[in-house]
Amino acid sequence: MPTDFMYIIVIAILLSFINTRFMCIAYGGSIICLISIIFGFPTIDTTDIMLVVATLHIVESILILFNGYRGKFPAFFEQRGEYVGGYNINRFWPLPFVIFIGDGLIRPVTLMAILSYGDFTLTFPRRKIVATSIVLFLYSSLLMVIIKLNLAPIVPPIVALIGHEFIIYINKMREKSRIPMFTNTKQGVRVIDISKRGIAKDIGISIGDIILTINEVTVNSSKDIEEIESLNNINWRINYFNMNKGLSTKLYQGNKKTLGISVVPRGLY
């Protein structure tokens, strides 16, 4: 029933005062199911709610895989007393879905769900997004199987809650133990983001590359790059280091535009 999902909204709003990540339907849906099972109120169809929870997370895993990268932006984190570069990833998707109610005359009711993906990484964001999508798909598939097995009604919401928290905990632990990719360098500046309309994108510079010189001028900060860009050059000679290709030199001649990169700022270290 649509009223069942109103209870979830109320729980989600209350949980949001603790932490916004608790607004996920995995928490609201599971908690309202546990309340209904333990106390007998409200009277709701717990199986249908848990099926919706599992289905929406399957859809979310697919959206993360194909669209999650659009929500990434550079950020800086403190690790072992230092600041390192990385990415925050935040993405929201409004998702309408239809449920059918009634015994004799069945009629459709359209509801709206807001799916969200919040994450961070100290390495390349595409790898993290793919890994997260796979883990979330396995989690929701396992939940779907448990629901279909018709075990005790209390099992699916408990699995949903514990599984969701376990995924988040493991994710944080893995990131804390990772060797950060975007640290500062003794020479040059490390690229952490690239604009689609800049020179760097045109000539094939990648995230993680280290820019050493531009037009034979050594660069050690974003300010150095800004000063070179202010000269409005149409000819560029860029020396940089790529982990796979080693030292490389790229030439650019064309329209006047910026280099189009963000770098790890040296001033934080």
Indicate the residue among 177, 209, 238 that finishes a domain: 177
Token pair 């030199």 is at which residue?
Answer: 249
Report yes or no on 40 lying in a domain. yes
pLDDT digits (tens, 9 = 90+) for 120-174: 998 888 999 999 999 999 999 999 999 999 989 999 999 999 999 999 999 888 8
Sign of the Cα torsion 22, 25, 26, 28 reads positive
Instruction: Say if residue 12 is in the same domain as residue 107.
Output: yes
- Same domain as 229, residue 250: yes
Q: Which of 152, 177, 202 is the last residue of a domain?
A: 177
pLDDT of residue 267: 54
Question: In this structure, are residues 213 and 259 in contact, taking their beta carbons and an 8 Å threshold?
Answer: no
Write down the pLDDT at residue 136: 95
User: Does residue 108 sit within a domain?
Assistant: yes
Residue 100 CA to residue 108 CA, distance in Å, equals 4
69 and 160, same domain (yes or no): yes
What pLDDT score does 104 carry?
Answer: 63
- 204/236 same-domain check: yes
CB atoms inside a 10 Å sphere around CB 1: 15
pLDDT of residue 269: 43
**Is the domain of 159 the same as that of 55?**
yes
Host domain of residue 82: 2-177
Residue 174 corresponds to which tokens in the numbers above? 């893995």
Bridge partners, residue 134, by sequence: none
CATH number at residue 198: 2.30.42.10
How many other CB atoms are there within 10 angstroms of residue 220's CB atom?
Answer: 17
Number of domains comprising the chain: 2
Q: Which residue numbers in the chain have pLDDT < 50?
A: 268-269
- Looking at residue 105, its pLDDT comes to 66
State the sign of the Cα–Cα–Cα–Cα dihedral 216, 221, 227, 231.
positive
In a domain? residue 183:
no
Q: Does 137 lie in the same domain as 51?
A: yes
Residues 37 and 101 in one domain: yes
The answer to the question of residue 139 being in a domain is yes
